[in-house]
Amino acid sequence: MELTLKNITKTFDGFVALENITFTVKEGEFVCIVGPSGCGKTTLLRIIAGLEEPTKGEILLDGEPLSHHERDIGFVFQEYGLFPWRNVLRNVEFGLEIRGIPKEERTRIAKKYIEMVGLSKFERNYPHELSGGMKQRVGIARALAVNPKLLLMDEPFGALDAQMRNILQEELANLWMKEKKTVLYVTHNVDEAIFLGDRILLMTASPGRIKEDITLELPRPRDRASPEATALRKRILETLREEIIKSL
Amino acid sequence: MKSSYYFWTDISPKWRERKFRVVSLVIFIVLWYVLSLWIRELPTPVETATTFYQLITVGEPILGRTLQEHTLASIKIVLKGFIIGTVIAIPLGIIIGRYKLAENLLNFIVETFRPIPPLAWIPLGFVLFRGLKETGWFQIISHLLGLGTSVAAMVQVFVVFVGAFFPILLNTIQGVKAVNPIYIDVARTFGATEREIVWKIVIPASFPNIITGIRVGLGVGWMCVVAAEMIGGSSSGVGLFIWDMYSIGGGSAEIVCGMIAIGLVGYIMNEVLLFVQRRVFKWS
Ligand SMILES: Nc1ncnc2c1ncn2[C@@H]1O[C@H](COP(=O)(O)OP(=O)(O)OP(=O)(O)O)[C@@H](O)[C@H]1O
Ligand SMILES: [Mg+2]
């Protein structure tokens, strides 16, 4: 699904969090948003998900206003947001339940996605029995289970250790190549953005604006250590550094 | 020496816990015995045990009822008041906890009524219910509650209701307010309606607090019924039993037995709810 943001501005009691954000994400594209802490990345995703109203501007999904589409968006939260009172299966079933899908079918669908993220053995476990990496796999399965046309991910692997993060990045890249979802992925980890994205939107320090729109022409599966990736990483890091210093 | 050493250091914590319980009970009874030698009015543990047996098998001298009959009568009253309190307090707590408007409207009233001790409602209860006794709806409610035409029983149920109501209400409000907003965001991204958010997120997420409120509320209700029965008008109940034993002069062993019955029932009610709590919340 194509996502278009037109002049999105968001203020909280006079504090400008986002200023004039305009960009388009094409159908099937994996776009990463990279920016310094506090520049409004989460706020931007929340606005796109319909959890927050923009102060100004307009959001279009396939050319139509957001309100017609709320249910076609999946959101993966940094803090996982799993329901502790539901086991893995029932967590993944949640969105299907809201959509009124009958019990048997939603169990079947949920199991399929749990298998996809490699957690079939843990269907009956409760979130507190899972590691961080497993929890986020459940979070991803839950978001994908309703087959959303747009997937929003807010630093989904931010709380994980480096090894686990790399593994999940690879899994996510594979999943995406299979499912071909439109993905908007927020991170402040430049390596992650280069590994996953078709495009990287660099944001300025608060108030957040789009500073650069970089298209990555790197072949997939990505090689983290390729000279192109290294050069790109250096360039992005320098830009980010400037932004962070400016904000101090 | 060796065996006493093992007595204290047994590896199983569960058994150690039980042993400690037994040990503390033995120490308590010994202290009680010493005290009862000293204070003549206090019955000895043995006298009390004998009386307890008498009360269970034969019954008390005034109405000829056994202690368990009295206790059961009190439990019935408690459950009635407690269930009404729960049924009203939980939905009200959810509404106050979730909707700012309801909170602003009701918070002042709740906080003004809350400090009034449940027992302070007894006189007003008698006045009101006596006045209402002939009305149809009083008779319907009284009938539904299985209270016959007893104004006193109605007052007792009402006092238990007041006692149980506030702990349940406050814990529910607190639980609802403490629901992690991210759970609600997740539900909203899936397009959940407000109704679904309340049923599928707010209620299960605040359940641990609600159960705590229920546990505390039942405990307070139990204290209230015993006190309310002493005030008068009742025809049965542990509170009445204790008061009657006092009124006929002396009977301190009987009084202590009544108190033991109250303590045991309270203990069991609490344990049952703790068990439910652990069962339902294997996730927390
Ligand atoms: N509900 C709110 N009320 C007031 N201010 C808010 C609110 N939500 C966010 N902000 C402010 O808006 C700014 C952007 O916040 P946001 O969480 O979107 O940043 P972020 O880029 O996601 O940061 P991080 O990288 O640390 O996650 C911050 O200064 C934050 O304090
Ligand atoms: Mg954020």
Tens digits of per-residue pLDDT, A41-77?
A: 999 999 999 999 999 999 998 888 877 666 788 999 9
Own/partner long-range contacts of A98-101 (Cβ < 8 Å, ≥24 apart): A98/B187, A98/B190, A98/B191, A98/B192, A98/B196, A98/B200, A99/A71, A99/A146, A99/B190, A99/B191
Question: Does A201 score more than 90 pLDDT?
Answer: yes
Given a contact cutoff of 8 angstroms between Cβ atoms, the answer to whether A77 and A154 are in contact is: yes
How confident is the model at residue A68, as a pLDDT? 67
Q: Is the CB of residue A224 less than 8 Å from the CB of residue A232? A: no
Hey, is B134 helix, strand or coil?
A: coil
- Positions of chain B with pLDDT under 50: 1
Q: What does the pLDDT read at residue B112?
A: 95
CB B69 within 8 A of CB B259: no
Stretch A135-156: mean pLDDT: 94
Residues in contact with ligand 1 by the CB-under-6-Å rule are: A 12, 17, 35, 37-43, 188, 206
Distance between terminal CA atoms of chain B?
43
Nearest chain A residue (CA) to B205:
A85
Mean pLDDT of chain A: 92
- The band of A95, judged by pLDDT with boundaries at 50, 70 and 90, is very high
Give the distance (Å) from ligand 1 centre to CA of residue A6: 20
Q: Please give the DSSP secondary-structure letter assigned to residue B199.
A: I
Asked if the C-beta of A68 comes within 8 angstroms of chain B's C-beta atoms, the answer is no
Residue A159 exposed, middle or buried by CB count within 10 Å (0-12, 13-18, 19+):
middle
For chain B positions 16-55, those within 8 Å of chain A (CB to CB) are: none
| Closest atom of ligand 1 relative to the A15 alpha carbon | 5
Residues 6+ apart with CB under 8 A from A77: A139, A154, A156, B182, B185, B186
Output the six-digit token pair for B96. 């106050």
Asked whether this complex has an ipTM greater than 0.90, the answer is: yes
On the question of pLDDT at A115 being above 80, the answer is yes
- In terms of residues, how long is chain A? 248
Question: In sequence order, what are the residues at sequence separation of 6 or more whose Cβ sits closer than 8 angstroms to the Cβ of residue A226?
Answer: A218
pLDDT at position B4, please?
Answer: 56
Amino acid at A55: T
The angle that helices B203-231 and B67-98 make with each other, rounded to 10 degrees, is: 140
pLDDT computed for residue A82 by the predictor: 96
| Closest C-alpha among A150, A148, A4 to residue A63 | A4
Is residue A94 within 8 angstroms of chain B, CB to CB?
yes
Extract the tokens encoding B226: 């015993």
Q: Which atom of ligand 1 is nearest to the CA of A39?
A: 21
Of the listed ranges A90-104, A129-143, A218-232, B210-224, the one predicted with least confidence: A218-232
Q: What does the pLDDT read at residue A160?
A: 87
Show residues of chain B in contact with A99, CB under 8 Å.
Answer: 190-191
For residue A126, the SS3 value is coil
Is A128 part of the contact surface with chain B (CB cutoff 8 Å)? yes
Kindly identify the ligand whose nearest atom is closest to the C-alpha of A36: 1
Say what the pLDDT of residue B206 is. 95
Q: How far is Cα B184 from Cα B162, in angstroms, rounded to an integer?
A: 32
Quick check: B178 contacting A, CB < 8 Å?
no
Range A154-162 average pLDDT: 90
Residue B150, both tokens:
């007893």
Q: What's the Cα-to-Cα distance from B135 to each of A102, A158, B148, rounded to whole Å?
A: 49, 67, 14
Distance of alpha carbon B79 from alpha carbon B272, whole angstroms? 14
* Cα A157-A163-A169 angle, rounded to 5 deg: 45
